[in-house]
Amino acid sequence: ETGVTQTPRHLVMGMTNKKSLKCEQHLGHNAMYWYKQSAKKPLELMFVYSLEERVENNSVPSRFSPECPNSSHLFLHLHTLQPEDSALYLCASSQGPGYEQYFGPGTRLTVT
């Protein structure tokens, strides 16, 4: 499946590191999303971009910084994370808000 890809698939980082997650969609969609998936909150919406503009930020801490340079690419920049930020980070894309979302395989993040 190559519709939505994410890199890296696994990431281990210390609390003082800076890293970035990348998402790319090849479906011609206009909206892209970042979700955090953990045992406590299975699918927690973090950020929404529609036509490259951020339309929603669900009170996410500033140590997570999204970037959407064009409609096909989405980044999540990480810095000074906490151990509780360890989770699976899923990217998704859709035609727009309220339409089927296609998920990427996720990045399994571990903060040590």
Instruction: Say whether residue 14 binds another protein (CB under 8 A).
Output: no
Task: State the nearest-atom distance from the C-beta of 109 to another protein, in Å.
Answer: 15
Q: By rule CB under 8 A, what string of x and - marks binding of each residue 23-62 to another protein?
A: ----------x-------xxx-x--x-x----xx------
Task: State the nearest-atom distance from the C-beta of 44 to another protein, in Å.
Answer: 8
Task: State the nearest-atom distance from the C-beta of 59 to another protein, in Å.
Answer: 12
Are 25 and 4 in contact, with CB atoms under 8 Å apart?
Answer: yes
Instruction: Say whether residue 90 binds another protein (CB under 8 A).
Output: yes
Instruction: Say whether residue 89 binds another protein (CB under 8 A).
Output: no
Give dist(CA 63, CA 78) in Å, integer.
Answer: 6
